[in-house]
Structure 1
Amino acid sequence: MNTEKFFTHRAGIIAVAVVVCFLWGSAFPFIKLSYGLLDIRPEEVYEQILFAGYRFFLASLMLAAFLAIKERRIAFTKGSLPALLQVGFFQTTLQYVLFYIGLSYSTGIQGSIITGSGTFFSIILAHYMYSNDRMSKRRLVGLLLGFAGVILASSTKGALRFSFGLGELALLISAFSNSLGGILAKNRASTMGTVYLTSYQMMLGSIVLLVLGASGAGWKPFHFTGLSLLYLIYLAFLSAAGFALWNTLLKYNKVGKVSMYFFLVPVFGVLLSAMMLHETLHGIVFAALLFVVIGIIVVNQEKS
């Protein structure tokens, strides 16, 4: 089975989507654990951005190595810089500046649920950017359900006291940036290889993160232990594998057909955060997660 057949076959789409969503869902507890090991506090924005830069620069090198082994070339393609900068800004730089800041002010469970809103932004953007992926009443209902879940996620401490603050807002805008970056990557993937696109956009985006973070925290403010270094390598790996596989799915399929599986990211994120960070699972968490999951399924359900 060739690459296109695998990534367009239903079983292939499901298998790849589940693996990617598990990887992305695991990022929430591993980032929070890394913050604890490296003593990165919520107010230390430059340190958060620098740590993100370390992660994504390392991930881009992993992808470049894969590209060199698979295709025996990593040479920069003339004329691709504008596209790489555009995708890199939204899918790496802006998304992860906001994501790392937002996650420092929220729990892993909150971050997992709010990040699920990326699917809803993808549906809205696809409506305006693709003539064959339009909004419908069904999708509108799904959007309302999903965003209701996002609002509930701002009250995951066990009581209905909503507080949509800096952390939640940053995570929400981060999800929008990721959705826009994914659609831009889909559009650009038709003219360049997916791994090439992902590797170079991630490298360019991470360089901005490194420079921005180092401008306030220096280049080496962290004292890595064996465990914290292992976490960093794992976070880099899940980014490299996740983005490459997800962008490949988007290259061969409609946005809606792929994004429906994104509901697994908050599911994995919530469960792993509860297990690894010992965060509490209570009624509001389940209600918020249920709204988001149902919303994602509804907006992507094919009309009979």
Structure 2
Amino acid sequence: MSRLRTWTQVGVLALLWGSTFLWIDLALDALTPAQVTFSRCVLGSAALLIACLVSGRRLPRDRATWGHIVVAAFFGNALPFAMFSIGQQTIDSGVAGVLNATTPLWSLLVAVVIGSDRGLRSVRLVGLILGFTGVVLIFAPWQTTGPVGWGALAIVAAAASYAVGFAYMGRHLVGKGIPTISLSAAQLIAATGLTAPTLSADGLTQIEIGPKTLIVVMILGVVATGATFHLTYRIIAAEGATNAATIGYLLPVVSVALGAIVREEDLSLRIIAGMVVVLVGVGLTRRHQRPVPAPAPAETSAVSATLHRQER
């Protein structure tokens, strides 16, 4: 994949992913968190399944691959999707996007723990500390924030879950000769199965879906979930899980702008300052980043050739 094509996908993904928080916020006007989470998984998986059928791709068949898919679906979809829906009940969509920008920081920590990163250089360590300082500034634990505080904590948990999910996808699913469209469709199908039981909590509440809610849910599920998740998979395959997670630091600009324009959300100077600190921190962690090593040197050339043919 050419660098221009990759960066084009990064830009599109940042716009789509950054708008997700707005669509969640709008969907929560009519739906419960469980309903929002389940509906986006159903619609996203349906869209990608149709894409598989149209492109002639098949879903994975072996049990081992599906076992990895279920684990990845929990950390990369079911858990963070639920945390976003719960968290955005009490915090604005713009703030949610800012907090989600911590995903690259968590990804760096995960990379160090699992050994895909050789360590923390001084500059990157400063960036890591700055990033989490920005999160603390946004979260403001010294204030009596009540449910707003818990909402922010849920978003941070979602960002950390994304990091774990991306790393797991990069290590166990990408580069195995399976088209990314098949993997992304299968993973959202698994996420649908994982989120279905949560409907018994608050998802069985009777709702009246008007035209506005229907449009919002369709965009959230098909575009902001299905298309966005598939692009994420492609970038993980091309750039590695840690590099893919760095898209997270582009999201605050999109989410804050959309929140202010569409929802007329207000941002305090503390949150703005926290966002700046987070972005500076993430930028420093990207200094001297080493590429993620290939999963299996003996099969690198064969797998690369297979992926190149299948993804065209």
Q: 1:33 to 1:131 in 2, by over 3 A?
A: closer
**Percentage of matched positions with identical amino acids:** 21
1:1-304 matches, within 5 Å, as 5-6=1-2, 9=3, 11-36=4-29, 38=30, 40=31, 47-70=32-55, 72-79=56-63, 80-155=65-140, 161=143, 163=145, 165-187=149-171, 188-191=173-176, 192-214=178-200, 216-218=202-204, 221-236=206-221, 237-302=223-288
Point out where structure 2 has 5 or more consecutive residues left out of the alignment: 291-312
Q: 1:205 to 1:260 in 2, by over 3 A?
A: closer
Letter in 1 for 2:158: S
Deviation at 1:258, TM superposition (A): 3.3
Deviation at 1:26, TM superposition (A): 0.8
* Correspondence for 1:44: none
Deviation at 1:155, TM superposition (A): 4.8
TM-score of the pair, normalised by structure 1: 0.86
Q: 1:193 to 1:147 in 2, by over 3 A?
A: same
SS of equivalent residue, structure 1 residue 251: helix
Q: 1:133 to 1:54 in 2, by over 3 A?
A: farther
Q: 1:247 to 1:75 in 2, by over 3 A?
A: closer
Deviation at 1:25, TM superposition (A): 1.0
Q: Tell whether the 8 Å contact from 2:34 to 2:201 is kept in structure 1 after alignment.
A: no
Offset from partner CA, 1:187-228 (integer Å, 9 cap, x none) = 21122222211111111112221221145432x722111111
SS of equivalent residue, structure 2 residue 91: coil
Q: Tell whether the 8 Å contact from 2:15 to 2:251 is kept in structure 1 after alignment.
A: yes
Q: Tell whether the 8 Å contact from 1:50 to 1:209 is kept in structure 2 after alignment.
A: no
SS of equivalent residue, structure 2 residue 88: helix
Deviation at 1:82, TM superposition (A): 0.5
Offset from partner CA, 1:17-56 (integer Å, 9 cap, x none) = 11111111111122112222x1x4xxxxxx3112210111
Deviation at 1:303, TM superposition (A): 7.0
C-alpha distance in 1, partners of 2:144/2:284? 25
* Correspondence for 1:43: none
SS of equivalent residue, structure 1 residue 279: coil
C-alpha distance in 1, partners of 2:206/2:278? 38
C-alpha distance in 2, partners of 1:165/1:107? 12
C-alpha distance in 2, partners of 1:61/1:238? 13
C-alpha distance in 1, partners of 2:201/2:266? 37
Offset from partner CA, 1:71-110 (integer Å, 9 cap, x none) = x133441222201111111111111222211111212122
C-alpha distance in 2, partners of 1:131/1:103? 33
Letter in 2 for 1:148: T
Q: Tell whether the 8 Å contact from 1:262 to 1:296 is kept in structure 2 after alignment.
A: no
* Correspondence for 2:300: none
C-alpha distance in 1, partners of 2:144/2:283? 25
Letter in 2 for 1:180: V
Question: Which of structure 1's runs of 4+ aligned residues deviate more than 4 A?
Answer: none
Aligned residues: 284
Once structures 1 and 2 are overlaid, which stretch shifts more, 249-258 or 94-103?
Answer: 249-258
SS of equivalent residue, structure 1 residue 288: helix
* Correspondence for 2:295: none
- Root mean square deviation of aligned Cα: 2.2
SS of equivalent residue, structure 1 residue 126: helix
SS of equivalent residue, structure 1 residue 74: coil
Once structures 1 and 2 are overlaid, which stretch shifts more, 73-82 or 184-193?
Answer: 73-82
Q: Tell whether the 8 Å contact from 1:54 to 1:210 is kept in structure 2 after alignment.
A: no
